[in-house]
Structure 1
Amino acid sequence: MKNAVLSVGAEFPAFAKKAVVSIEKGKEFYEISSEEIKASGKWMVMFWWPKDFTFVCPTEIAEFNKHYQDFADRDAILIGASTDSEFVHLAWRNNHDDLRGLQFPMLADTSKSLAQELGILEAEEKIAYRATFVVDPQGIVRWTSVYDLSVGRNVKEVLRVMDALQSDELCPCNWQKGEATIKA
C-alpha cells in the first residue's frame, strides 16, 4: 500500500534531522527541528530532490538558491532535502560549483522517515520524489506539489503561490503579486 502525499490542511510532521549548513571546516552540520521552525513564526518551504550527484537536481537547488532572498523577503525559511546522508550532501556541495555557496540547509533524511510520512517516498528505490511543501507559521501545509523524478520544478511558481497565500485574498488564475484580486 502506498502512502498518500501529505496535502493541504494537514499538519506538517514533527522532525529533527541533521543538515549541511556550511562547507567551512567544523561548521558543516546542524540539527534542524520542526519545533525550531515553528518557534520562529515563519513560513517554511521544504523542497525535496531524489538523489545527490545527479543531473536535474542541481539545476533546481541552484535556482532555489538564486531566489533565496525572495523567500526570505516572504518571511520563509527555505530547506532543501533528500534521503542522502549529510556526508553525501557535504561531498556534493564541495564538488559542485553551483552548490558551494548555498544559503539554505540541505536536510538529510537518512532514515527516510520524514519522506515516508510526507508520502513522497518512491516505492522501488526508496528515494524522495521532487516534492515541494509550503507550510504556514502554524505548521499547516498550505500548498504541495510533486513532480516525476525526471522533471524539474519551477521556483518562480513556488514564489507566486506564496504571494497568493500570503495575500489572504481570492487570487485568479495566473495571478501575480500586485495584480487585482477577486472581491466576492
Structure 2
Amino acid sequence: MSVINTEIKPFKATAYKDGKFVDISSDDIKGKWAVFFFYPADFTFVCPTELGDVADHYAEFQKLGVEIYSVSTDTHFTHKAWHDSSETIGKIKYTMIGDPTLAISRNFEVLREDQGLANRGTFIVDPQGVIQALEITAEGIGRDAKDLLRKVKAAQYVASHPGEVCPAKWEEGAATLKPSFDLVGKI
C-alpha cells in the first residue's frame, strides 16, 4: 500500500541538531513543509554524499519554508559521533533523527525488516502532515538535492494553485497545465 496522500503516523524520537540532543515528534512537523530523508546507516559510503548534498542546499530549502529531517536507524549518539568526525557530515545544520526502535522507518514503509535498516526514501510532507511525494531508491543509487528542491517547489505550487498541475521537468516560473475536458488529447 502506498503512503502517498496519507497523514504521517505519530512518532517520538531523539535527534541531533546544532550540537544538541533534541526531542522531536510528529506534532513538531505540522504547520510547515518538511522533507524526511531516510538513509541506511551512518559511517557508510553513498549516505554522506547525499546528506552533504542536502546540507549544501539547506538554506534554499529554508527559504521555501521547508525543514529537513534525515532519518536512519542509528541512534542520536551515533549521529553526533558522525557529525563530529566527518567534514561532510559536519556541514549539516538540519535535524538528524535517530530511529533505533525502527518505528519511524516502519511508519514510512522504508524499513528492511531483515536488516534493521531503512531504504533510501525521500518524502515531501505538507503543512497538514500529508505525504505529497515520495522517492525510494536502491542501496547504490544516490539522490540529488537540486531535483528534490524542484519537486518541493512543484508540490508547493500545486498546493497553492488548485486546479493546476506541473508537467514533467517543470521548473519554477514555467507553464503549468489546467486539466479539463478541452485539454484531453491536446498534449
For normalisation by structure 2, the TM-score amounts to 0.89
Corresponding residue of 1:178: 173
Tell me the distance in 1 between the aligned counterparts of 2:78 and 2:28: 24
Report how many residues are paired: 174
Structure 2: state its 5+ residue gaps.
159-163, 180-187
2:27 counterpart (19, 23, 35):
35
Tell me the distance in 2 between the aligned counterparts of 1:43 and 1:170: 19
Residues 61-112 of structure 1: CA deviation (Å, up to 9, x unaligned): 0000111011111111111110001111111111101111311011000100
Per the TM alignment, residue 117 of structure 1 is displaced from its structure 2 partner at its CA by 1.7
1:130 counterpart (120, 142, 158):
120
Tell me the distance in 1 between the aligned counterparts of 2:150 and 2:178: 19
Over the residues paired in the alignment, what is the CA RMSD in angstroms? 1.2
1:82 counterpart (72, 78, 87):
72
Structure 1: state its 5+ residue gaps.
none
Larger radius of gyration: 2
Tell me the distance in 2 between the aligned counterparts of 1:117 and 1:34: 11
5 Å-filtered alignment, 1:34-113, equals 34-38=26-30, 41-113=31-103
Tell me the distance in 2 between the aligned counterparts of 1:65 and 1:100: 9
Instruction: Please say if residues 7 and 143 of structure 1, whose CA atoms lie closer than 8 Å, have aligned partners that are also in contact.
Output: no
For normalisation by structure 1, the TM-score amounts to 0.90
Over the matched positions of the two proteins, sequence identity in percent amounts to: 35
Tell me the distance in 2 between the aligned counterparts of 1:55 and 1:143: 25
Instruction: Please say if residues 29 and 86 of structure 1, whose CA atoms lie closer than 8 Å, have aligned partners that are also in contact.
Output: yes
Structure 1 consecutive aligned stretches of length 4 or more whose deviation exceeds 6 Å: none
Per the TM alignment, residue 7 of structure 1 is displaced from its structure 2 partner at its CA by 2.2
